Structure 1
Amino acid sequence: MKKIVFAFAILTGILSNAQDFQGIAVYESKTSTADFMKGMSQNRDLTPEMQKNIEARMQKAFEKTFILNFNRTSSIYKEEEKLEAPGQGGGRMMMSMMGGGGTHFKNVKEQNYTVDKEVFGKEFLIKDSLPKYDWKLEGESRMIGNYNCFKATAVVPIDESDFRNFRFRGNKDEDKNETKKDTTKTSTTNLMDQWEMPKEKIITAWYSPEIPINQGPENYWGLPGLILEVNDGKTTILCSKIVLNTKDKVDIKAPTKGKEVSQKEFDETVKKKMEEMREMWRSSGGNRGGRGGFGR
């Protein structure tokens, strides 16, 4: 504990005296595809081989590397740019639908954030206040790389615009009864009805006081140290590399491209679009879908 306090004091002094202090943290993000594959298994039009290929592509699409550039008050979090292999465009589109992509800027001093997102072919610029996490500091500790980290948990409301939060619930009893009455329906007719969005989830974070920066990946912040790992039960974001006092400085500023909306407005827009897709799926009998974009 003395080592942590000593390191904290040294780094706090460094950060307070160095106006141009910057650091870089590299994060590896992985999202479980189990729920998605449960949903896919209900589609009779997909052969086991097709499902296996879809699962492989989804796993690859959900394994991403992100870079967090930070200073004492602000940060930008962005996916590491990589050349896509032929045929991987679908994975890129899927990640866009799942809430990924774009630049995530947050200012912990002013407690606000800006995110640019492209969803269903339209660009949005989300500006809002940072969420207030009611962190519970636990007594557990563990090493992540060379840093001693401590556990914190929080219950947070679900971001309805992030498709990664969908859960597969399967057919309800009434769906089964309805299927018995109407034998002309296929198992794919109500496929989208078998998904639901929970109201809240539990976040587990591991932070290191040895790096006294009030920052973390995505929209996570508010702990007495850099957050090196976050897990929400479905997605794990783990820091794999940290560089402090970087020589090459990055211009840490908010993105400006896209239609400006609040987080609530963005969520409502995406939710409305999902309802439209659900109705299209129902009216087409689940056998075909429409791309349908947002109006420009």
Structure 2
Amino acid sequence: MKQIRLIFFFAVFALPTLAQEMEGVVTYEKVYHWASIYSRMDFMSQEEKDRIKLTWGNDDEDKTKMKLVFTPSRSKYTYDSDQATSDDGRYSWRQRDYIIYRDYETEKKTEIIEMLGKTYVIEDSLQTPKWKVMNKIKDINGHVCMLAVAEDTIKKQKVEAWFAHDLPVSIGPEKYFGLPGLIMELDINEGDVVVTATKVEMKPVGEEVNLPKKIKGKKLTNKEYDDLLWTHIRDSMVAHRNPYWSMPY
């Protein structure tokens, strides 16, 4: 217990000056477990859920490589490549638009998300998740990480984030940030989706952290986007459809 408290104290109070000089690129592997996601669909019977789990077995994983580019004041999270490729390398396709950009000095964000057949641009103030730091630590790729938990109140999802105290940047993948260290792993809804850092490269990033010069899409505020998600999830459940085939989990 004392060791955990000392680590957290060091992360919060002793390292912020180091963050002023930190920039680089983090590569993540994002894994969807679709059988687990389907098990949460209220409209499905237990027999249907069991059949999906039996049919897919261990082949329900959908893996995507992501990257987080950051400086002390900004970050950009997106796909590692604009093109997705099948496991056998025979097929490729364009990834959906998906960029999560944050400016921590101005406390503003821009999110470019293609879903429901359209591209949306969410421009608004940053909303820091309400984290609760837990008394747990583990090693992730050579970094001692502490656990913090939060909740996505729109999607009704539990979120676990493991952040590295030796990488004092308050950033992370997807829409999660605001901890006293780089988020090395996200676990959404007890393993439905897991995002894990596979490589951390500390280096100058130049213009790679910038947004595209041309941004096209329907502009929304935070509230308008949350309302859109809530309505889509509700309507999909009523129609007995998995809402997450057409929107981020």
* TM-score of the two chains, using structure 1 as the length reference: 0.61
Distance 2:101 2:7 in 1: 32
CA distance in 1, matches of 2:210, 2:68: 13
Secondary structure of the corresponding residue to residue 208 of structure 2: coil
1:241 to 1:33, Cα distance in 2 relative to 1, 3 A: same
Instruction: Output the CA distance in 2 between the equivalents of 1:41 and 1:133.
Output: 31
Of 196, 209, 216, the residue aligned with 1:252 is: 209
Cα distance, 1:275 vs structure 2: 6.5
Helix, strand or coil: the match of 2:224? helix
Matched, 1:158 2:153: yes
> Using the alignment, how far apart are the partners of 1:34 and 1:107 within structure 2?
36
CA distance in structure 1 between the aligned counterparts of 2:223 and 2:7, rounded to whole angstroms: 43
Q: Is the 8 A contact 1:106 1:219 kept in 2?
A: no
Equivalent residue pairs, number: 222
**What displacement does 1:120 show?**
2.7
Question: What is aligned with 2:167?
Answer: 211
- Counterpart of 2:179 in structure 1 is 223
Greater strand fraction, Structure 1 or Structure 2:
2
Unaligned stretches of 5+ residues in structure 1: 43-47, 161-197, 287-296
CA contact (8 A) 2:28 2:198 kept: yes
Name the CA shift for 1:37/1:272 in 2 (closer, same or farther; >3 Å): closer
Contact 1:207 1:228 in 2 (8 A): yes
Cα distance change of structure 1 residues 236 and 273 upon mapping to structure 2, 3 Å threshold:
closer
After TM superposition, the score normalised by the length of structure 2 is 0.71
* Structure 1, 252-261 or 140-149: larger mean CA deviation: 252-261
Larger radius of gyration: 1
Instruction: Provide closer, same or farther for how the CA distance between residues 147 and 257 of structure 1 changes in structure 2, counting only shifts above 3 A.
Output: same
Shift of 1:31: 2.1
Does residue 239 in structure 1 map to residue 235 in structure 2?
no
Do the aligned residues in 1 keep the contact of 2:30 with 2:194 (CA within 8 Å)? yes
Q: Deviations over 1:108-166 (max 9, x none)?
A: 33332211112232211011222232222222211111211111122x23345xxxxxx
Q: State the 1:209 CA deviation.
A: 1.6
**Structure 2 Cα separation of the partners of residues 213 and 32 of structure 1:** 29
Deviations 1:161-212 (A, max 9, x none): xxxxxxxxxxxxxxxxxxxxxxxxxxxxxxxxxxxxx4xx332111112111
Amino acid at match of 1:245: K
Alignment map for 1:18-167 (pairs within 5 Å): 18=21, 21-35=22-36, 37=38, 52=55, 56=59, 59-60=61-62, 63-81=63-81, 82-85=83-86, 101-154=97-150, 156-160=151-155
Q: Contact 2:143/2:166 (CA < 8 Å) preserved in 1?
A: yes
Root mean square deviation, CA, Å: 3.8
Q: How far apart are the structure 2 equivalents of 1:275 and 1:151?
A: 31
How much does 1:79 deviate?
1.2
- Paired with 1:249 and 1:71, the residues of 2 have a C-alpha distance of 9
C-alpha change, 1:274 and 1:207, in structure 2 (3 Å) is closer
